[in-house]
Structure 1
Amino acid sequence: MFNLTYEFKLKPTQSQIAIFEDWLEQCRRVYNYALCERKDWIKSRSCRINACSLHSEYIIPVDTPRPTYFNQSERLTQAKKKYPELSTVAAQVLQQTLKRLEKAFVAMWEHKHGFPRFKKPGKMRSFVFPQLGVNPIQKGKIKLPRIGWVKFYQSREIPDSGTVKQAHIVKRASGWYILLIVQWDVDVPQPIPHGEAIGIDVGLKSFIATSNGLTLKRPRFFVDAERKLKLLQKRVSKKRIGSNNWHKAQRKVAKRHEYVANCRKDWHRKLSHQICNNVGMVFVEDLNLVGLSRSMLGKHCLDAGFGQFFNILEQTCFKRGVYFQKVDSRKTSQTCPNCGTDTGKKELSERTHACSNCCYTADRDVAAAQVVLKRGLAAVGHTVKMLAEGKFIGIPLKQESSSL
């Protein structure tokens, strides 16, 4: 199976916008109620058996099963009888909201994310249609369950060979958008190591430094917009909370943030295509992005968007048939790329790599990129050797993704 996501901007009528807003509010209430059930059950099982809390205790019978996606979905039918407004929302949309909560708990358990939080009014900004009808898309409009035909700006054609599996409705500061997941029953081969290789080191002084000597200064998207954002936030603080003028001022702030995010993403996409020109392999550092975001320079690391850039670069490499791999990022700036000697820790102000063992001198970031390149080539060396010997049987040859 091969999936692609197509994003389009919707052109809903005022009545359709009212339906979207109502559905978001109902999804928010279902999400909060289900989260409250799970939170109360967890707290009831964390009470001490020989003492009571000075504040309160959560008394829930011992035989009460742990709330999960399945048993909470079963109780949706009973909840619709008690709350008739839930019947106006498609059943699968509410089920996807519960599945969203389940994913949040799985991310907390497996990926060390924080405990899921309750959503305030207006904070639920998306809902999902997991299934659409037969031929749901016509020229410039899509048929959504319970809502009907909704117009959208079809900026590009959707291939007829694919099947639309899901529709994700998203509310943003600039309007309503729809994300269509299109699926093809084909197996697309992964790119294999070939051609010229390049290593990339990322940083705050130079956003990227490549192993062939290219350095690119980091654009300061958020820092440059801070002055305007500060002015807009000051205007918000002077409005009465909940008033129409307060909502208008909030929308201006949200639009500015969206503009900054769009500029950053556009620059990342253009840079990823520039990197993939005339290369066959790309190696980057496997950084601890969460740790960087919580460091002293966390604001600048988040402004650079290293994680988003790596994801976009990986997607671009896949589309253009370029091999992409992450390598160990430890001590890349302390290792000499020429002889492999550990040169010791460098201060941030020291921007030149000078090896006392082999007298190799280079820019600090370029030397780190060359170390990344050597580690990447060492990682794929065994794979390339086995491919050359013909020991990997059944691996399809590289083909261009543009044929899809």
Structure 2
Amino acid sequence: MLNMTWEFKLKPTVEQVAEIERTLSVCRKVWNYALAERKDWLNSRKSPVNACSLHREYILPADQPFPNYVKQAKALTQAKQQIPELKSVNAQMLQQTLRQLEVAWEAWLLKRAGLPRFKNQARMRSFVFPQMLRNPISDQGIKLPQLGWVKVRWSRDIPDICLIKQARVVRKASGYFVLLSLQADVDIPEVPFQGHPTGIDVGLEYFLSTSDGLQVKRPRFFNPLHRKLQLLQRRLKTKQKGSANRSKLLQKIARVHQRIADTRKDWHFKLAHQLCDRADALFVEDLDFRIMAKGMLGKHTLDAGLGQFTNQILPWVCFKRDVYYAKVDPRGTSQECPDCGAEVKKDLSVRISHCLECGSIKPRDIAAAQVICTRGQRGIENACGVEVTGSSVLNSSQLALKQEIFGAIRGISSHTVRLAG
């Protein structure tokens, strides 16, 4: 089963824009009310009996169950009969809002993310239609529940074998977009290891260094527009909250941030295709970039977008281009000699790897990339029990199937293609 999400820009009318904004407002109220219920229940279990607050205290019955998704969805059905505003919005859309809150709450309990926050008008930016109407696509646009036919700027043709499972309407600084979740009922085998392998070491001095000797300097996406952002945000201090001038200025700031993000994503895709042109198998360190983003170099780490490149864009491009992709253990890759395997201890200030055992002298990042490439091949050999130098290819029927599916994709820009979920 192949799942993809494609992004297209909408061209709604004035009435449709008003309906989208009203829907976002209702979803925001449902999110805030449901989150307040959960926080009230949690706060009612925090304070001991002999240490109640003098200002205010939550009083809930001791046997009242936690308001999870099932209970809140049931309460939403009852509230729709009493509140006309809720009845005017698609019921499944509001249920999806509660489901997103449930996912965010579980992520907080597992310490994977922070506590969900209340949303103002600017923070609620999307809603989803979990079920689409029959034949929702035409040359004029797309037919969405509650909105009707909306004009779309079709930047690519949707393959006939793909079904549209759901649609998400997103408000961005440059306009409104729709994310279509496509599903093809086909089984595409994983790309096998084959051909020339290459190890990749990522960092901040060089965005990446390969085992073949290629080193790419880290581009500063944020620096060219940093001065403009400073001037806009300095003017923001003098604007009154809730005024029209403040709203216009916030829109300008959001467009600058979106331009930075689009430039970064475009550069990542071009670099991923360049790497796939030079190798048949790519190995990358399995790093948690969230830890790097919390250090004193966090601003530079987020500006480089290392996680977006290694976890999202590069795997997708490798899968589309029939290039094997795998991650290896990152421990000690820069403390090992790539030629003899001896331990070469050095701190971050040492940028040259000099092995005293075999006399090898190489740049630190290139040596680490060669170690990554060796570990990746060794891992395949241990897992499969075969020589890694052998070439494994798809059979003719599998190759024909994959070429049929991606034939409509490869001829079109893949800047907005990403794996669903």
Task: Please classify the TM superposition score into its range, dividing by the shorter chain length.
Answer: over 0.9
C-alpha displacement at 1:244, in angstroms? 1.2
Of 297-306 and 229-238, the range deviating more from structure 2: 229-238
What is the match of residue 298 of structure 2? 298
Asked if structure 1 preserves the Cα contact closer than 8 Å seen for 2:200 and 2:209, the reply is yes
What is the match of residue 415 of structure 2? none
Asked whether 1:101 is paired with 2:109, we answer no
Of 275-284 and 32-41, the range deviating more from structure 2: 275-284
What is the match of residue 244 of structure 1? 244
What secondary structure does 1:299 align onto? helix
Are residues 398 and 327 of structure 1, via their aligned partners in 2, closer, same or farther at CA, if it must alter by over 3 Å? farther
Asked whether 1:345 is paired with 2:346, we answer yes
Q: What residue identity is the alignment partner of 2:327? A: K
What is the match of residue 45 of structure 1? 45
Asked if structure 1 preserves the Cα contact closer than 8 Å seen for 2:92 and 2:130, the reply is yes
Asked if structure 1 preserves the Cα contact closer than 8 Å seen for 2:209 and 2:369, the reply is yes
Q: What residue identity is the alignment partner of 2:339? A: N
Are residues 201 and 17 of structure 1, via their aligned partners in 2, closer, same or farther at CA, if it must alter by over 3 Å? same
What is the match of residue 8 of structure 1? 8
Q: What residue identity is the alignment partner of 2:71? A: N
Q: What residue identity is the alignment partner of 2:356? A: S
What secondary structure does 1:199 align onto? strand
C-alpha displacement at 1:275, in angstroms? 0.5
1:181-260 alignment, distance < 5 Å: 181-260=181-260
C-alpha displacement at 1:79, in angstroms? 1.6
C-alpha displacement at 1:240, in angstroms? 2.0
C-alpha displacement at 1:347, in angstroms? 3.3
C-alpha displacement at 1:376, in angstroms? 0.8
State the number of aligned residues.
Answer: 400
Asked whether 1:163 is paired with 2:163, we answer yes
Within 1, Cα distance between the matches of 2:275 and 2:205?
19
> How far does the alpha carbon of each residue in 1:222-244 deviate from its partner, in whole angstroms, 9 at most, with x for none?
12221111011112222222211
Asked if structure 2 preserves the Cα contact closer than 8 Å seen for 1:220 and 1:304, the reply is yes
Q: What residue identity is the alignment partner of 1:359? A: G
What is the match of residue 325 of structure 2? 324
What is the match of residue 129 of structure 1? 129
What secondary structure does 1:75 align onto? helix
What is the match of residue 27 of structure 2? 27
Gaps of 5+ in 1: none
What is the match of residue 149 of structure 1? 149
TM-score by length of 1: 0.94
What is the match of residue 78 of structure 1? 78
What secondary structure does 2:326 align onto? strand
C-alpha displacement at 1:384, in angstroms? 4.2
What secondary structure does 2:385 align onto? helix
C-alpha displacement at 1:327, in angstroms? 1.0
What secondary structure does 1:85 align onto? helix
Within 1, Cα distance between the matches of 2:332 and 2:121?
46
> How far does the alpha carbon of each residue in 1:351-382 deviate from its partner, in whole angstroms, 9 at most, with x for none?
21111111101111101111111111111112
Q: What residue identity is the alignment partner of 2:332? A: K
Asked whether 1:336 is paired with 2:337, we answer yes
C-alpha displacement at 1:59, in angstroms? 1.8
What is the match of residue 275 of structure 2? 275
State the Cα RMSD in Å. Answer: 2.1
> How far does the alpha carbon of each residue in 1:96-116 deviate from its partner, in whole angstroms, 9 at most, with x for none?
100110110122223521111
What is the match of residue 403 of structure 1? 404
1:166-181 alignment, distance < 5 Å: 166-181=166-181
Within 2, Cα distance between the matches of 1:111 and 1:212?
39
> How far does the alpha carbon of each residue in 1:11-36 deviate from its partner, in whole angstroms, 9 at most, with x for none?
00000000000100110010010001
What is the match of residue 355 of structure 1? 355
C-alpha displacement at 1:83, in angstroms? 2.2
Within 1, Cα distance between the matches of 2:386 and 2:398?
16
Are residues 397 and 193 of structure 1, via their aligned partners in 2, closer, same or farther at CA, if it must alter by over 3 Å? farther
C-alpha displacement at 1:279, in angstroms? 2.0
Are residues 64 and 386 of structure 1, via their aligned partners in 2, closer, same or farther at CA, if it must alter by over 3 Å? farther
Are residues 278 and 117 of structure 1, via their aligned partners in 2, closer, same or farther at CA, if it must alter by over 3 Å? same
Asked if structure 2 preserves the Cα contact closer than 8 Å seen for 1:132 and 1:166, the reply is yes
C-alpha displacement at 1:398, in angstroms? 6.4
Of 73-82 and 8-17, the range deviating more from structure 2: 73-82
C-alpha displacement at 1:395, in angstroms? 10
Q: Relative contact order (C-alpha < 8 Å, sep 6+): which is higher?
A: 2
Are residues 356 and 70 of structure 1, via their aligned partners in 2, closer, same or farther at CA, if it must alter by over 3 Å? same
What secondary structure does 2:81 align onto? helix
Within 1, Cα distance between the matches of 2:58 and 2:378?
56
What is the match of residue 90 of structure 2? 90
Q: What residue identity is the alignment partner of 1:201? A: D
> How far does the alpha carbon of each residue in 1:308-361 deviate from its partner, in whole angstroms, 9 at most, with x for none?
00110011111111111111112211111111122113233x221111111101
Are residues 140 and 270 of structure 1, via their aligned partners in 2, closer, same or farther at CA, if it must alter by over 3 Å? farther
Q: What residue identity is the alignment partner of 2:314? A: L
Gaps of 5+ in 2: 406-421
Asked if structure 2 preserves the Cα contact closer than 8 Å seen for 1:25 and 1:122, the reply is no
TM-score by length of 2: 0.91
Q: What residue identity is the alignment partner of 2:33? A: Y
Of 228-237 and 289-298, the range deviating more from structure 2: 228-237
Q: What residue identity is the alignment partner of 1:300? A: H
What is the match of residue 63 of structure 2? 63
Asked if structure 2 preserves the Cα contact closer than 8 Å seen for 1:189 and 1:396, the reply is no
What is the match of residue 418 of structure 2? none
